[in-house]
Structures are given as structure tokens and as C-alpha cells.
Structure 1
Amino acid sequence: METMEKVAITIVVVVMVSWGWKLLNWVWLKPKRLEKWLRDEGYNGNSYRLLIGDMIELATMMKEGKSKPIPVTHDITSYALPFDHHIFSKYGEKSFVWLGPKPTMYIKDPELIKHVLLRPDEFQKPYPEPVQDSLIGGLLVTEGHKWIKHRKIINPAFNLQNLKIMFSAISSSCSDMIHKWELIMAEAGSIEVNVWPYIDSLAGDVISRTAFGTYYKEAEKKFEIQKEQTDLIFQMPFILHVPGGRLVPTQANKKLKENFKELRSILMTIINKRKKAIEMGESKHDDLLGILLESNKKEIEENGVGMSMEDVIEECKLFYIVGSETTSNLIVWTMVCLSLHKEWQIRAREEIFQVFGDKELDFEGLKSLKILTMILNEVLRLYPPVIMMTRATHKNTKLGNMMIPPGVQLSLSMMHVHHDREIWGDDVNEFKPERFAEGIVNATKGKGSSPFFPFSYGPRVCIGQNLAMTEAKTAIAMVLQRFSFKLSPSYKHSPFPGFTLPPQFGAHLILSNIS
């Protein structure tokens, strides 16, 4: 009996020592080893602080930055990324930060960024990634063979033929928004309108119709919940990046879990109804969900394995975040830029009337809008919907002349590359769509197309970029056919990041009817 007690005590001690060693390695020894490697490679940053790293300073600067607008300017990097700007000013271009016990090194060289994005198996998404994992899954976070399979199943939903079919739904949503503005202006030639809520609703309506077809009304509740999820996440960046932060019983964490369950229930109901309608031959496969389910069915029949119900739910959540928020950002910042630069508003309107007159738009005609395409590219450069991407190493990985050890995160600063004077010239912070007149390759002072990646780059380039550009072109063209617009005196410039880059104080413009 005494021997058994000694054995049990020995086992407990060994387990405790093992756990203790792992904990010590996780919270202190490994971060300090990675810090030494970073400094040996010429990178500089704050010394590691146990568990929290730089999170308190980051959260404080984000809160302070978000509290006030800035003068109207396109030079927005220091405002949109205040903590990153502070680190660059303090330590230089080769710098790093601590998100909890994980070091994140900044990569601003477009060639190195290109190599990272071209090698998704070696530079994967961080896992777990606190913000992303709390909001979305699907293609955006899936890796390896699972990502390949999902991409194959989803690809048919975004081909050119299906975009043509979806164009009528896009036009209908845009017409509805414009009709609302016309009703507001019924008794006045011009009026101040905060266009942002309308554009945000437009993008949600478009993705509702194109993703869920006849079930789009049922999906509206889903979008409200998902928007609340986004707001909750960015109210607590500190908690999310500290290990175990999502287990803290705060009101926000509790609400996140409740919303997660409700979202899943809503989507499962819609998906099951759609699957049943397809089986009964009562449903067309002309929206994203229908095409996805049909493609998934084919994959299962041919190869035995496809996407599970949970996989389909995650892709539907992704449709909204990526399909709605990124596009609404592009549309609203385009309207702001055209309000500031009336000469380009006039040129774009003249081109639209030359192609369509005052008649309804058609899908094929959008290809002829060269000036509008240049404008949208310049807006994507200055106000990229996603301003930074993060990747991580999971084994020793070569990048340039570095061999990066596992556990290091890489912050790919899209916004800094898009605002880099050496790439774009001394007029980098000016709105000059003409820089794209000869295409993207010729816009970067001989640096090629790699410095321009608003929809990412390489194998994991955004699958919905053509849908986003089609929607943005349609919305802006239809607005320009009917209205001219300029900034209101009450406009406050505030491109501050959440999941994307919305105008946090709205976009107050003076709309006038085209006489």
C-alpha cells in the first residue's frame, strides 16, 4: 500500500513538473528565445512583458485614436494604425510587437510579402487567431487539404456566368437605395445625407440576395447579429489576445457565445430548407448557397467526402463579413473621394452617360467603364478594406535571407505598402486615379503588381473580388447617373479599423439631383 502511494505521489509530481515546465516555456522561456532571435536579426521592439506583452499599450492607443476624427487627408496610416506607427517611429522599419506571449514582426517589403502569400502552406494563418476565430471561419481560416477541397467546391459560385446572373439582384438592391434617397430629396434639390448606413445596408442586402436568394429576408437577422459580433470583438482586443481571455466571464464574452449559438441556429434552418427545396426540385441553383450546396453534393457523389453542415455554416458566415463589409467600405470611400475631387466625379459621370446614357446599366457595359475602374483602384490603394494580414511560422521557414523559427507571427502591412513613397512616388498620399491608366503593373514606378494587393495575393487571393468590384461599379455608376455630391460641413474624417476600414463617424454628404 505504501509503495502504491509513493508511485501515485511520484506520478503527480512528474505531471505537475511537466505541466509547470510547459507553462514556464510558454509564458517566458520561448518568448525570450524568440526575442533574442529577432534582435540578432536586426529587429527591434519593446522587451517582452509576462503574458500581456504590448497589449495594454496597444489597447490604450486604439481607444485614444478612435475617440476623435482627423483633418481630411488621404495620409491616414498613422491614424488607422496608431500603435504600429508609434512602434515604427520608435524602433524603425525592422520592428516587432508582442501580442500576448507571441512576437509579431512587421514585413513591409512587397517582395517578401509576395513570397509569404505565394507559400500558404509554409506561412499559415495564426491559430488560434483571437479576433478572426470569434467572428468567422470558412475559406479565410481553413488550411491545407481542407482549404483546397473547400475552394474547389465554392469556386463555381463565383464564376463569370454566375456573376451575370447575380447582376440583376445587385441592380435591384442599388435601385432600392437610390429610391430611398430620391424620397428624402422629394421636396428639395439638395440635402445632407449620412450615406454610410444606406451603403452598409445596401451591401448587406446585396449579399443577402446573391447568397441566399429567396431566403434573403430570413438572413437579415443573421447580419444584424454578425455586425454586433464585430462590434463586441473590437471592444475588447486586450482580453482576446491574452491567453484564456475568451474564458473570462465578461458580459461581452457571454454575449458573443449567445450570438454564436443564435447565428448557427438561423443558418442551419436556412440551409436545411434550401437542401430540402433542392431535393424536391423546387429551387434554382442561381445564388451562392444554392450553387455551393449543388457543388458540394457533386463532390460527395464523386469523391465520397465534401463539406459538413458546420463547414457550410462557416462559409455562409464568411459570405457576409467578406462579401458585405469589404464592398461597403469600397463604395463609401469612393463617394468620399469623389466628393473631395469633383473633377474625377465629373469625368466618371461623363463616361457613364457615354456608355449607358440615362438608361439602366447592363453587366457587359461595366467592362467599358475604364475611368471608374481607375478610380476604384485608387480608392483601394488609399483605403484598403483590410489594412493588415497576419501569418505565422509552424516550423523553421526561410524568408529572404532569414530562417524564421516556429512561433513567430508576421504582420503584412498592406496599408503601409499602399502608402509607400518609394513605390508610388512623392504623390503617394494624393488621390490620382491616372496612375492606374496603364494598368496596375505600370502604376508602381517599375515595382510590378506585387505592391498592390487589396484582395490579397497568390493562391489565396479573395475568391469574391470580382463580385465586389461588380457591386461597387454598379452602385457608383447608378448613383452618378442620378446625383452629384460633395462633403457636408458636418463630415468627420475617421477611417478607423474594425474588421475592415469603415468611416466610424459616418459619411455626411450633400446630395443634389442631376438636373
Structure 2
Amino acid sequence: MVLGAGGFMGTVSSMPWSLLAYGLLGLVLLWQAGRLLQWLWLRPRRLELALRAQGLRGTSYRFLVGDLREHGRLTREALARPLPLRCHDIAPRVVPFFYNTVRAHGKTCISWFGPMPKVTITDPDLAKDVMSNKFGHFEKPKFEGLTKLLSDGLLNHEGEKWVKHRRILNPAFHLEKLKRMLPAFSACCEELVSRWMEHLGSDDSYELDVWPEMQSLTGDVISRTAFGSNYLEGRRIFQLIEEQVERIIKSIKKTIIPGYMFFPTKNNRRMHQIKKEIDSILRGLIDKRMQAMEKDETTKEDLLGMLLESNMRHTAENGQPSQGLTIEEVIEECKLFYFAGMETTSVLLTWTMLLLSMHPEWQDRAREEILGLFGKNRPEYECLSRLKIVMMILYEVLRLYPPAVTLIRQTYKQMEIGGITYPAGVIIELPVLLIHHDSDIWGSDVHEFKPERFAEGISKASKDTGAFLPFGWGPRICLGQNFALLEAKMALCMILQSFKLELAPAYTHAPEEIATLRPVHGAQIKLRAV
């Protein structure tokens, strides 16, 4: 083929630019390949060598996946076998990989979440050091923004932002404020008990799955105490949050792929849709409340009202709007109210009802205490604070079946703790379940349901005063723990005033971690009127 002069000259003149473009593209690809090599191989190997040089033992790094395959295999095998009834040695089923790793490599050991090293610490004193923030070098892993799709509230914040949010939220959870919520607690429990009473058969019994019932109850409570609305109005938010939790759990392992959350997968698109819908519903609730406050209408004694009042007061005291929370930040804290307020207490109440069904002698003792204080009357705050046996039972349930099985932190710079220097980028796992089930701390009867171990309080229940961690520890201890325990005491009192609890034949003892520690096949119980 013959080219004309113009065609030939155009081809020649364009060749250097084409070569330059290809060269630049090659450099970009080479740079990206170098980043991947660093992320997936060089950095993990460097961190592994640094940790092992200090005497830490554990699993070896496997390219890209780390221990995820082994973790998945052991979990599938464990979950295929339900536990015997009244067996409270649940760690081998719930966290089989970490249970085996700690037994094989020691109470401080290394494992791998993809290319990220994870150090498991089961020493309560070291765990307290991590949670105390006295070094200031631990933060929560972000998992590529997954947790923000559920709530970007107090739990995710660090530094000065956390301090500001905590200061504004604190007043809403003071005991004096919680006392005002007791009528909402008791009203929700009364509706639950009345509904169950209506279902009693000719033999004065009623069999049901109490797990969804406790979710409905705590959902109703948090709706009324947070927004003054009832459960039916808040149902859509709960449905969306439940779906979001399940999708997030399925996605966490995939965050080892850099940029995964930006992939337009069906699951990623749905998670963003859920977040948008929840934000829209909550924005509507908050806008209505703020409009009412601007018109000087009486502020309801609920968490939202208290939060907005505290926010306005904090802003006024500092004289700068930037010192308060934005509407978007209030929305995120409201989502945290919904999830944490419903989930923790529903899990605690469900396991409490199951364990009292398994151990009727303690159920009888609790009922005797309740009837002695209240009779069949609605519980009052002053007497709720005098419940000793009920409190011992709740603590023992939280020990054996903690809602949060593990607590996670991460180093963002080099630091030393417990004689070990941790480089930046190491995940620190505090396995609450393993600490609560450690026979060296709690004694040879560690797997037995023995509420009497808390007869003299938490500090004397074990050999280590810091070994009881159902709500965390230190400055970041759960802000809503008093709310959860007060609600649980009220619910348990009103249920035991009216019903005797028995395990139903359909119940299968199968605890599983799904965001929190849940009875995966339900919690079937037979109620009998008393």
C-alpha cells in the first residue's frame, strides 16, 4: 500500500505521542502492580517478621486470603453440629478458629484477616490497656467504610470528634433521665404480656419463639424512648437495619480486595439504597422535631429530644454552630440508637429466658424475689435497683452469652503494650467470649450457669477484676449499658410475674455470631401462666 506524503508525515509525527501514551500507561500499571505487591505480600511479610521476632506465635501468612479459608471451613463444620441442651461451653462452636488458634499458639497469638495481621489478646489486663486508650494509639478498623453504611455515629469516631459526640450524648443517658423512660419500658412490656396472655390455651400454656418477640419488644421500646413513636411506625427502619446488618456481614471478608466497596455489585448497590432510605426516614422525624422546638412546643422526654436539647446547649455555650452536631451527624447517632438499643437488649433477654428455662431453680428464685418486692404490681425504679438475684442472673447470662463476641481495634502507628511493640496496621482482637470462658480466670466451673458467682458484685466474681467485658471497658464503654440493663430488668420482672418458662421440644441449642450472639434456629419456649 502506498501512502501519500500527508498521510506518511501524519503517521510519523503521531508515533512519538503514541509511544509516550503507552509509556505513561505502562508506568501507571507498574505503579499499581507495585502497590498491590506491597499490600498483598511485602507488607504482610514485614509485619509477620516483626511480630514473630518478639516471640509471638500463630498461623503463617497465606497470599491474599490469610486464614479466611480455614476460618470458613472450621465455622461450617462447627455450625453443622448443635450443642447439647444446657451446654454452655459455646466457644468451640461460635468461634472455632480463634478457639483452636489460642489453644495451639498461646493467649496472645497471630492470625490473618486476608493480608492484615490480627493479634488476639486474651489477657484481661492487656485488654483493659487496649480499651483504656491511655496510649492513644488504637482505633477501630474501618473495613472500607462498611460500618458507616450501618451508622457513622459515636462508635466509629476517634479523637476530638469522639470527645464532642460523647459529651453531647452523655446527658441523655444519665440515670435521672432514664428514670423518666420507665413508663415507656413498662407500657411496652405490659402490651407484650397481655398479648401472650390472650394466646394461652385451655391448659394455660402457649408455645412460641421468643427471639422475634424480644426483637419486637426492644424495637418498640427504642422507638418510644428515642422518638416517641410506637413500633409499627419504626418497623420499616428495623427491617432495613436488619437487612443491612446481614449484607454487611457477608461483605466484610471481601474488604481484603482493595476498592471492593466501589465495585457496582448488586449487594453494594443495595446497601447504599438501604442507607439512603433510612437517612430519609430519620431526616423526616428530626425535621419535624426541630420545627416543633423552633415553635417553642414542649420537647418530648425522649432520646431525640434530649439529644437535640443537649446539642443546642453545647452550641450556645461554645458560641459557635460548628461546636454542635450537624443534622447529618444527628441522623447517624439516631441510627446507632436504633441498632444498639434494639440488638443488645433483645439478645440479652432471649438468652436469659432460655437459660432460666434450662435452670428452673434460678427462675424460681428470681420470681420469688420479684413477687416479694412488687407482688403483681408494675415495678418501680427504687425497687428495681434492689433486685439482687435478677441482677446476678443477668450478669451470668452476659458472661456466658455476651452479645458482642469480640471487640476489635487497630494500631495506626507503632506502639508498645505488654512488652510487645506493635507496628502500624495491626488489628488487635479482644475475644470477649474466650475471656469470659477462661477457666484460669473464672475457675473450673467456668462453663456452668452459676449466678451466685456475682453475689458480691462484678469485682469479686473472678480472679481478675477486669475479666467481665460485655459492654467493653474504659472511656469507650457502652454508653447505653444502663439503658439496656434497666430495660432488661423491667421486662424480666413483668414476664416472670405472669409466666413460668419451659424449653419447648422444638428448641435446638445453636448459638451463632451474626453481628451479635443469636440463637440461629430460634428460641422456642413454652409459657405457663402462674
Q: Give the alignment's TM-score, normalised by structure 2.
A: 0.92
The residue aligned with 1:485 is 501
Q: Does 1:190 align with 2:224?
A: no
Q: Which amino acid aligns with 1:263?
A: I
Of 484, 496, 501 in structure 1, the residue corresponding to residue 512 of structure 2 is: 496
The residue aligned with 2:8 is none
Q: Does 1:54 align with 2:70?
A: no
Q: Which amino acid aligns with 1:148?
A: V
> Structure 1, unaligned stretches of length 5 or more?
none
Q: Does 1:32 align with 2:45?
A: yes
Q: CA, structure 1 residues 343+23, in 2 after alignment: closer, same or farther (shift >3 Å)?
A: same
Q: Does 1:398 align with 2:416?
A: yes
Deviations 1:95-135 (Å, cap 9, x if unpaired)? 22211211101000000000000117311111336653342
Q: Does 1:456 align with 2:482?
A: no
The residue aligned with 1:347 is 365
Q: CA, structure 1 residues 146+79, in 2 after alignment: closer, same or farther (shift >3 Å)?
A: same
The residue aligned with 2:90 is 76
User: Which runs of structure 2 are paired with 1:153-302 in the superposition (5 Å)?
Assistant: 153-185=168-200, 187-214=202-229, 217-302=232-317
The residue aligned with 2:482 is 466
Number of residue equivalences: 512
CA distance in structure 2 between the partners assigned to 1:204 and 1:129 by the alignment = 29
Residues 27, 50 of structure 1: 8 Å contact kept: yes
Q: Larger deviation: 122-131 or 257-266?
A: 122-131
The residue aligned with 2:402 is 384
CA distance in structure 1 between the partners assigned to 2:53 and 2:266 by the alignment = 43
In the TM superposition, what is the alpha-carbon distance from 1:329 to its structure 2 partner?
0.7
Residues 285, 294 of structure 1: 8 Å contact kept: no
In the TM superposition, what is the alpha-carbon distance from 1:364 to its structure 2 partner?
1.5
| 2:516 partner SS | coil
Q: Which amino acid aligns with 1:142?
A: H
Deviations 1:270-294 (Å, cap 9, x if unpaired)? 1111111111123424111111111
| 2:410 partner SS | strand
> Structure 2, unaligned stretches of length 5 or more?
1-12
The residue aligned with 1:439 is 457
Residues 120, 429 of structure 2: 8 Å contact kept: yes
Residues 219, 266 of structure 1: 8 Å contact kept: no
Q: CA, structure 1 residues 106+199, in 2 after alignment: closer, same or farther (shift >3 Å)?
A: same
CA distance in structure 1 between the partners assigned to 2:149 and 2:99 by the alignment = 26
The residue aligned with 1:97 is 111
Residues 115, 256 of structure 2: 8 Å contact kept: no
Q: Larger deviation: 339-348 or 179-188?
A: 179-188
CA distance in structure 2 between the partners assigned to 1:414 and 1:86 by the alignment = 15
Q: Which amino acid aligns with 1:93?
A: K
CA distance in structure 1 between the partners assigned to 2:504 and 2:287 by the alignment = 47
The residue aligned with 1:509 is 525
In the TM superposition, what is the alpha-carbon distance from 1:65 to its structure 2 partner?
3.5
Residues 67, 112 of structure 2: 8 Å contact kept: yes
Q: Which amino acid aligns with 2:52?
A: R
Residues 143, 255 of structure 2: 8 Å contact kept: no
Deviations 1:366-416 (Å, cap 9, x if unpaired)? 011111011101111000110101111111111011111101110001111
Identity of aligned residues (%): 45
Residues 392, 407 of structure 1: 8 Å contact kept: yes
In the TM superposition, what is the alpha-carbon distance from 1:313 to its structure 2 partner?
1.2
Residues 216, 231 of structure 2: 8 Å contact kept: no
| 2:208 partner SS | strand
Q: CA, structure 1 residues 135+166, in 2 after alignment: closer, same or farther (shift >3 Å)?
A: same
Of 303, 315, 327 in structure 1, the residue corresponding to residue 333 of structure 2 is: 315
Residues 51, 243 of structure 1: 8 Å contact kept: no
User: Which runs of structure 2 are paired with 1:408-427 in the superposition (5 Å)?
Assistant: 408-427=426-445
CA distance in structure 1 between the partners assigned to 2:179 and 2:291 by the alignment = 26
Residues 153, 336 of structure 2: 8 Å contact kept: yes
CA distance in structure 2 between the partners assigned to 1:300 and 1:235 by the alignment = 40
The RMSD of aligned alpha carbons is: 2.2
Q: Larger deviation: 180-189 or 167-176?
A: 180-189
The residue aligned with 1:22 is 35
Q: Which amino acid aligns with 1:457?
A: W
CA distance in structure 1 between the partners assigned to 2:494 and 2:62 by the alignment = 53
In the TM superposition, what is the alpha-carbon distance from 1:200 to its structure 2 partner?
1.1
Q: CA, structure 1 residues 266+62, in 2 after alignment: closer, same or farther (shift >3 Å)?
A: farther
Q: CA, structure 1 residues 248+206, in 2 after alignment: closer, same or farther (shift >3 Å)?
A: same
The residue aligned with 1:133 is 148
Q: Which amino acid aligns with 1:402?
A: I
| 1:390 partner SS | strand
CA distance in structure 2 between the partners assigned to 1:192 and 1:215 by the alignment = 26
Q: Which amino acid aligns with 1:492?
A: T
Deviations 1:230-251 (Å, cap 9, x if unpaired)? 1222334432444333334443
In the TM superposition, what is the alpha-carbon distance from 1:320 to its structure 2 partner?
1.6
Q: Which amino acid aligns with 1:478?
A: M
Q: Does 1:152 align with 2:167?
A: yes
| 1:111 partner SS | helix
The residue aligned with 2:342 is 324
The residue aligned with 2:9 is none
The residue aligned with 2:6 is none
CA distance in structure 2 between the partners assigned to 1:174 and 1:233 by the alignment = 31
